[in-house]
Amino acid sequence: MLRASPISATVDFERDGVQHGHLRLPYSRDDSAWGSVMIPICVVKQGAGPTALLTGANHGDEYEGPVALFDLARTLRAEEVSGRVIIAPGMNYPAFQAGTRTSPIDKGNLNRSFPGRPDGGATEKIADYFARYLLPMADLVLDFHSGGRTLDFLPYAAAHTLPDKGQEKRCFDAVAAFSAPYSMRMVEIDAVGMFDTFAEEAGKAFITTELRGGGTATAESSRIAKTGVRNVLKHMGILEGAVEARTSRWLDMPSDSCFGFAEEAGLVEPLKDLGDRVAANEVVSRIHRIDRTGGALVEHRARIDGVLAARHFPGLAKIGDCLTVIATLSSKQ
Ligand code: ZN
């Protein structure tokens, strides 16, 4: 039997109306002996109906989610809502404040920390609270991601292929409703500990995004996020009105062969940009040695035909960095 979470909410999830409050995580430290991490949370509820759990900054350096969700929390009125919307724009709040992927408190990567522990580090405590307290209330989770400081993605909403085809359909219907410029069927290279995996195993509809990256948001990626979240709420019947549908290209990540990793450190010369068509064995980028002139180049080649869906963002790469993700064009939705 797990102990109760040390996190307490200053909002009442069962009360109708708009509430802005915090999830208070006790965090005793040098500058605040009985201090807390205060994770912003907003609940907008009216009557009976489905619950959407909306999360941003699961990784602290990904900004479209926080932009869309702070904006939604500021503007959403209870009268517009049938059911409940739980909005956590800065899920791993210490990481979000620091502008880093992982938490500066314990180096925890929240999206590798599920199901978490009530008696673990700060990041595990946050994971445990979302897993055991917020997730059970939700019919659907929309967990925003982007590439962070080290990756840049085509803007897409995504879900996973799942063994339960009814559940999978609920996920992909919500991805279609989000109406990002691209929609993705994903595989994961490292699914253990992810919020996605935990929520999917709990039978929830779970969708995620990758909406550009590089440690910033753009005007376009912010618009995509803001429209997408309202579209998902309309799709669920929580908001009235028709989904603002736009054409979305469906992509697949069929296997591990999508991913390309640097086998040499150095200066990255991109030969393809995001969205460009790539053929199997084509050179996508080249890595130049930077310790001397006249050194040999390393060519980085695509392993499959497709489009460049993500790439390493910084100009310099380390050995082992993810350099490229190639997705295949899907004929079917
Ligand atoms: Zn992320």
Instruction: Report how far ligand 1's centroid is from the alpha carbon of 192 (Å).
Output: 14
pLDDT of residue 188: 76
Mean pLDDT taken over the chain:
96
Instruction: Report how far ligand 1's centroid is from the alpha carbon of 151 (Å).
Output: 10
Whether 144 and 76 share a structural domain: yes
Residues 93-102 have pLDDT tens digits of 999 999 999 9
Whether 174 and 289 share a structural domain: no
Whether 217 and 277 share a structural domain: no
Residue 3 maps to a domain: no
Asked which of 251, 286, 320 is the last residue of a domain, the reply is: 251
Whether 64 and 143 share a structural domain: yes
Q: What is the pLDDT along the chain (333 residues), one digit of tens a residue?
A: 789 999 999 999 999 999 999 999 999 999 999 999 999 999 999 999 999 999 999 999 999 999 999 999 999 999 999 999 999 999 999 999 999 999 999 999 999 999 999 999 999 999 999 999 999 999 999 999 999 999 999 999 999 999 999 999 999 999 999 999 999 998 777 789 999 999 999 999 999 999 999 999 999 999 999 999 999 999 999 999 999 999 999 999 988 999 999 999 999 999 999 999 999 999 999 999 999 999 899 999 999 999 999 999 999 999 999 999 999 998 765
Whether 177 and 281 share a structural domain: no
Domain assignment of residue 83, given as a range:
8-251
Cis peptide before 115 (omega within 30 of 0): yes
Instruction: Report how far ligand 1's centroid is from the alpha carbon of 1 (Å).
Output: 31
Phi, psi (deg, nearest 5) at residue 73 = -60, -35
User: Which candidate, 85, 96, 14, places its Cα nearest to that of 43?
Assistant: 85
* pTM beyond 0.75: yes
Residue 2 maps to a domain: no
Tokens 């900004």 appear where? 63
User: Which candidate, 110, 118, 131, 116, places its Cα nearest to that of 53?
Assistant: 131
**Bridge partners for 325 per DSSP:** 259, 310
Residue 33 maps to a domain: yes
Residues 38-51 have pLDDT tens digits of 999 999 999 999 99
| Number of structural domains in the chain | 2
Instruction: Report how far ligand 1's centroid is from the alpha carbon of 152 (Å).
Output: 11
Asked which of 224, 251, 278 is the last residue of a domain, the reply is: 251
